[in-house]
Chains A and B, each alone.
Chain A
Amino acid sequence: MIGVQAVPEVATAIRTSGLSKRYRRVCALSDCTITVPEGRISALVGPNGAGKTTLLRLLAGLTRPTGGDLIVNGGVPRQDPAFLAGIGYLAQEIPLYRRLSAEDHIRAGAHLNPCWDGESVRERLKALTIPLDRAVGTLSGGQHAQVALALTLAKRPRLLLLDEPVAALDPLARRNFLAILADAVAAGGLTVVLSSHLVADLERVCDHMIMLAASRVQLCGDIDALLAEHQVLVGPRKDTSAIERDHRVVLLSRTPRQVTMLVRRNGPVIDPAFQASDVSLEELVLAYMGQGAPPALTQLTSIGDDQ
């Protein structure tokens, strides 16, 4: 793993090595080695079925790994009130008791957690004009998600694991929620891992990224560093073996005239025939998403080759 090496004095919120999860025949996650330093907002990206939910559930202690080690908040995920108090987890299904009101959930949280900020939930929901006394099953999907997100934050966890938290929100609510997350992290003591397909949103708040594809980690590290390590090279259609030898070609597409490559640099690219340009986060994510795809799909990128 190239990525950012953890500086010793920066504590890590998450550290896994060789983490695997196998469900009977299906391998949901294999050989996952990642590090997330404290105080980061980490984007967990990858195609559907890449193992994002499995990774989050492993980190939350809801699922047991079938191999490898993981340390979360300085300990192994376990059934222990102190560990549970440090983790905020919101599942993709946004599970809440449909017949209970938001106020009921706030009071339940107060009974179930040592440090619980119920008042913050009430304030946020009032500001969003979400009724506190109605059964949450009768709220709209977005309101439902807002209640669940506010409840997850009210636990005041050290590590927040959010599985596609903004999928149900409208663009404005999404932006507001991400701003609240950024503020909470800036205030200190909080690390966030959130999975999402909305790269533009992630780009706005995240400073760290974990990229999964085909149940393996493709990238993990500081977003700025990852962007700096990658480049798009455009050049004439000629032998690319020299570049492929020195650098890792993530994506390669040929047209009859030219070759476009997205490479992970191993030092500067010095071939003058190629024009180098920076990659955007979206390009990077899309390039790596194809990594786990079956061969037939990757061939699409080199269409025109046979002409």
Chain B
Amino acid sequence: MTWLVWRLHRTQLCIAAALLAALTVLLLVTGLQMASQYHSALAACGASGSCANLASTLFLGSHAVGFLVIMTLGVPALFGLFWGAPLVASELETGTSQFAWMQSVTRRRWLAVTAGEMLLAAAAWGGAVSGLVTWWSGPDNALQLDQFKPGRFDIMGIVPVGYALFAMALGLCAGALVRRTLPALAVTLAGFIVVRAAVTLWLRPHYLSAVTVTYKLFSGYTPTGSYWQLAQGIRSPGGGLVPAPNGAAVDGIPVGSLPRACAAAASGIRPGPSCRQALAAFHGFITYQPASRYWAFQGIEFGIFAALAAALIAVTAVVLLRRDA
């Protein structure tokens, strides 16, 4: 069985291996360059004590390679489109399933080996690309502190492996249900985009309940490390949310929301002591996911997509084993 899977898909696997090798070379070369650039900049700013604004002055790598790295967002979808969707659909469409399923191998075993090995390949490739990207982005991550940002969170760590498994399983399932390659491709692509977007927009912020910190307006507050800010604002003494400034403001409070004591300050005069006192009753708040939760979030998102993949494989198995061949 393994021999047939290899013989049928070796061209695709070889192309995928060649593309991965090319990406590896490119990211290794530019990654090493970026790392040395970062470390020398770090040494220089350490000497002059100007490391605080390193993020705004140092640009690492090139736009082209950076764009390519962002594009690895689409790699899992490619597994679904090129490996997953045609795997069952093309066999059913061309009738070769009648060759494969009339050998002395049960359909259950055929599916287990074919799907199992291709899922494994997708996971391995997804993991390899993600590993490379994670390593390559190391200095930039340290600099930008935005590891939760969509487009960054989803191309690093273990989530790309989950996406690859999900895309493969979606392709398989669409192929088994639709039984034709092109429609299966369309269903796979649409399904992948919809599910990924829905999870990113609506589920991800709520994996763990967010932390809210209130702070004095004058002191301000910045969580440590590469945290994920969900909301930030100012509350009035009554607890109401102060609208974001749109024009003249004092200490981030728009003129219209200023307390009566600050009437003078509203017209541009420095706030006096009574105004200062009134402003002290206002406080800022920030709702965020702490940087320390990064791997918990990675694990939860991986788990969601792995579970979806398992469910899709189960549906595929039921369809292929129950329905007429």
Contact = CB atoms under 8 A, between A and B. Distances in A.
A87 interface: yes
Nearest to B104: A85
B324 A62 contact: yes
Interface residues of B, number: 24
A84 B102 contact: yes
Interface stretch (A89-97, A174-182, A185-193): A89-97
A79 interface: yes
B249 to A, nearest CB: 68
Nearest to B323: A64
A87 B106 CA distance: 13
Nearest to A96: B99
Interface in A226-264: none
B168 to A, nearest CB: 21
Given A91-B95, A96-B99, A79 B108 contact: yes
Per DSSP, chain B at the interface is helix
A112 B95 CA distance: 18
B94 A112 contact: no
B68 interface: no
Contact of A93 (B4, B95, B106): B95
Nearest to B106: A79
A163 to B, nearest CB: 10
B105 A89 contact: no
Given A79-B108, A112-B105, A62 B98 contact: yes
B101 interface: yes
Contacts of A57: 324-325
Contacts of A84: 102-106
Given A62-B101, A97-B8, A107 B3 contact: yes
B104 A108 contact: no
Contacts of B104: 81-82, 84-85, 112-114, 155
Given A80-B106, A100-B7, A112-B1, A63 B324 contact: yes
A264 to B, nearest CB: 35
Contacts of A91: 95, 98
Contacts of B100: 112
A77 to B, nearest CB: 11
B1 A95 contact: no
B183 to A, nearest CB: 20
A292 interface: no
Contacts of B108: 79
Contacts of A96: 96, 99
Interface residues of A, number: 31
B235 interface: no
Given A62-B101, A79-B106, A81-B105, A108 B96 contact: no
A88 B97 CA distance: 14
B83 to A, nearest CB: 16
A286 B2 CA distance: 49
B94 A98 contact: yes
Interface string A48-75: 0000000001001011100000000000
B324 A95 contact: no
Interface string B282-325: 00000000000000000000000000000000000000010011
Interface in A96-141: 96-98, 100, 104-105, 107-109, 111-114
A80 B97 CA distance: 16
A224 B2 CA distance: 48
Nearest to A87: B102
A98 B91 CA distance: 11
Contact of A109 (B103, B321, B325): B103
Contacts of B105: 81, 84, 112
B152 interface: no
B232 to A, nearest CB: 58
Contact of B3 (A82, A108, A113): A108
A111 B100 CA distance: 11
B7 A108 contact: yes
B103 A79 contact: no
Nearest to A110: B3
Interface in A27-47: none
Interface in B100-119: 100-108
* 8 pairs of A and B residues whose beta carbons are closest in the complex: A112-B103, A95-B95, A85-B104, A62-B325, A79-B106, A63-B324, A93-B95, A113-B104
Interface of A: 57, 60, 62-64, 79-82, 84-85, 87-89, 91, 93, 95-98, 100, 104-105, 107-109, 111-114, 155
27 contacts: A60-B102, A62-B98, A62-B101, A62-B102, A64-B324, A79-B321, A81-B104, A81-B106, A84-B102, A84-B103, A84-B104, A88-B102, A93-B95, A95-B97, A96-B96, A97-B96, A100-B7, A108-B3, A108-B4, A108-B7, A108-B103, A109-B103, A111-B1, A111-B2, A111-B4, A112-B103, A155-B104
Interface of B: 1-4, 7-8, 94-108, 321, 324-325
Given A89-B98, A95-B98, A112-B104, 8 more contacts: A57-B324, A62-B102, A79-B106, A82-B104, A85-B104, A95-B94, A95-B95, A97-B96
